[in-house]
Amino acid sequence: MGVATAPPPPTTSKTLQKQYLEAVGAYQYVLTFLFMGPFFSLLVFVLLFTSLWTFSVVYLVWLYVDWDTPNQGGRHSEWIRNQAIWRQLRDYYPVKLVKTAELPPDQNYVLGAHPHGIMCTGFLCNFSTESNGFSQLFPGLRPRLAVLAGLFYLPVYRDYIMSFGLCPVSRQSLDFILSQPQLGQAVVIMVGGAHEALYSVPGEHCLTLQKRKGFVRLALRHGASLVPVYSFGENDIFRLKAFATGSWQHWCQLTFKKLMGFSPCIFWGRGLFSATSWGLLPFAAPITTVVGRPIPVPQRLRPTEEEVNHYHALYMKALEQLFEEHKESCGVPASTCLTFI
């Protein structure tokens, strides 16, 4: 079974105004992803030394009172998730969502999302907004995209990303969500994380997965079905400077990641007004996010290593099968295979 949202209009039928709106939709996501957190952190600090210091003080008091909210389910806004700008972001690439099996809302799910890419564009578009009609394709499910916990320390930005339903990828946060009495919880975890971003080379499909088993333990503790998800084209929207494993540049990236939680990548897109110049506007490469079949998982409050390894192996096999079944229809050559590290 394969169900996808209606494809956006072909580029040749788009008006100049439509093309501009799509570029604005894609560009604003890049700018907020890269700069919104640092900007508001600096702004709140600087305002403390001006006549507008009361704004910072009031917000910091609010931040103190609201500190635990991200780990307690957070909050989301359907108004934000349904904004028209996300449809422009969808149409720019375009981004599609493909359903291969039913996910009944009478149980919980742990969705493993691959690959991470540079900015997780396909996953945010499909799971954190309604631009591709997730709630119509999977009625009754409540998707929660789990991201770096450190992002929720950034003032204002934390409130913005919570409005999409994003939550910290921490045990406390995910256990809270999957322990809710209301079933249909679907946590989306980018298993490869920041390390996988270092391998976001166009045309390559290299996943950091062999030793990543925490998401399997999470599923076992809560009896939540595992669901493999692959986003074809996620690595194609930026160009990446990849350093050889063992080089001093690669060592610096890994060291920075251990200290800060994210990997500094050297990447670029096209210019905002010229396709031949460098810039931060992503290349308009199609992104197709395919949601696989659920893998039933029993509940084990203290799963053994054998159980974890068993379901991890089942998951890797299911993910590889999902990739093989859909790669050619998503423009990937038949000879291409997944690489696990």
pLDDT in tens, 201-224: 998 999 999 999 999 999 999 999
Q: In this structure, are strands 109-114 and 339-340 parallel, antiparallel, or unpaired?
A: unpaired
Cross-strand partners of 239? 268
Structural tokens at position 47: 């305002």
**Percent of the chain whose predicted confidence (pLDDT) is above 90:** 82
The CA-atom distances, in angstroms, between 160 and each of 42, 95, 99, 157, 338 are 16, 22, 28, 5, 34
Summarize the confidence of residues 152-168 as an average pLDDT: 96
Cα 278 to Cα 246: distance, rounded to the nearest angstrom: 28
Quickly state the pLDDT bin for 104 (edges 50, 70, 90). Answer: very high
Cα 143 to Cα 119: distance, rounded to the nearest angstrom: 18
Residue 66: pLDDT above 70?
yes
Q: Which residue has the tokens 């925490």?
A: 214
Q: In this structure, are strands 287-291 and 206-207 parallel, antiparallel, or unpaired?
A: unpaired
**Which pLDDT does position 329 carry in this prediction?**
94
Which of these, 34, 131, 122, 32, lies nearest to 81 by C-alpha position?
Answer: 131
Quickly state the pLDDT bin for 10 (edges 50, 70, 90). Answer: low
Quickly state the pLDDT bin for 245 (edges 50, 70, 90). Answer: confident
Quickly state the pLDDT bin for 250 (edges 50, 70, 90). Answer: confident
**Which pLDDT does position 261 carry in this prediction?**
77
Within 8 A by CB and 6+ apart from 262, the residues are 148, 150, 194, 197
240-243: long-range contacts, CB 8 A cutoff, minimum separation 24: 240/118, 240/200, 240/201, 240/202, 240/265, 240/266, 240/267, 241/265, 241/266, 241/267, 242/198, 242/199, 242/201, 243/198
Residue 7: pLDDT above 60?
no
Could you state, in order of their start, the residue ranges of all structural domains in the chain?
Answer: 16-340
Residue 106: pLDDT above 60?
yes
Quickly state the pLDDT bin for 257 (edges 50, 70, 90). Answer: confident
Let me know the angle formed at the C-alpha of 179 by 175 and 183, rounded to the nearest 5 degrees: 130
115 phi and psi angles, rounded to 5 deg: -80, 170
Summarize the confidence of residues 98-113 as an average pLDDT: 97
**Which pLDDT does position 273 carry in this prediction?**
85
Summarize the confidence of residues 111-137 as an average pLDDT: 95
Cα 138 to Cα 4: distance, rounded to the nearest angstrom: 12
**Which pLDDT does position 255 carry in this prediction?**
86
103 exposed, middle or buried (CB, 10 Å; 0-12, 13-18, 19+)?
Answer: buried
**Which pLDDT does position 12 carry in this prediction?**
54
Structural tokens at position 190: 């980018």
**Which pLDDT does position 36 carry in this prediction?**
96
**Which pLDDT does position 6 carry in this prediction?**
40
pLDDT in tens, 267-295: 899 998 888 889 999 999 999 999 999 99
pLDDT in tens, 136-152: 999 999 999 999 999 99
Cα 331 to Cα 288: distance, rounded to the nearest angstrom: 10
What does pTM read for this prediction? 0.91
Q: Is the distance from CB of 293 to CB of 318 less than 8 angstroms?
A: yes
Summarize the confidence of residues 141-167 as an average pLDDT: 95
Residue 164: pLDDT above 60?
yes
Q: Which residue has the higher pLDDT, 265 or 230?
A: 230
Q: Is the distance from CB of 207 to CB of 338 less than 8 angstroms?
A: yes
Q: How many CB atoms lie within 10 A of CB 171?
A: 13
Cα 141 to Cα 105: distance, rounded to the nearest angstrom: 6
Summarize the confidence of residues 152-177 as an average pLDDT: 96
Cα 111 to Cα 145: distance, rounded to the nearest angstrom: 9
Q: Which residue has the higher pLDDT, 251 or 110?
A: 110
Q: How many CB atoms lie within 10 A of CB 219?
A: 31
Quickly state the pLDDT bin for 9 (edges 50, 70, 90). Answer: very low
Cα 71 to Cα 24: distance, rounded to the nearest angstrom: 32
Summarize the confidence of residues 23-32 as an average pLDDT: 96
The CA-atom distances, in angstroms, between 183 and each of 119, 142, 224 are 29, 9, 10
Cα 220 to Cα 217: distance, rounded to the nearest angstrom: 5
**Which pLDDT does position 4 carry in this prediction?**
47
pLDDT in tens, 302-329: 999 999 999 999 999 999 999 999 999 9
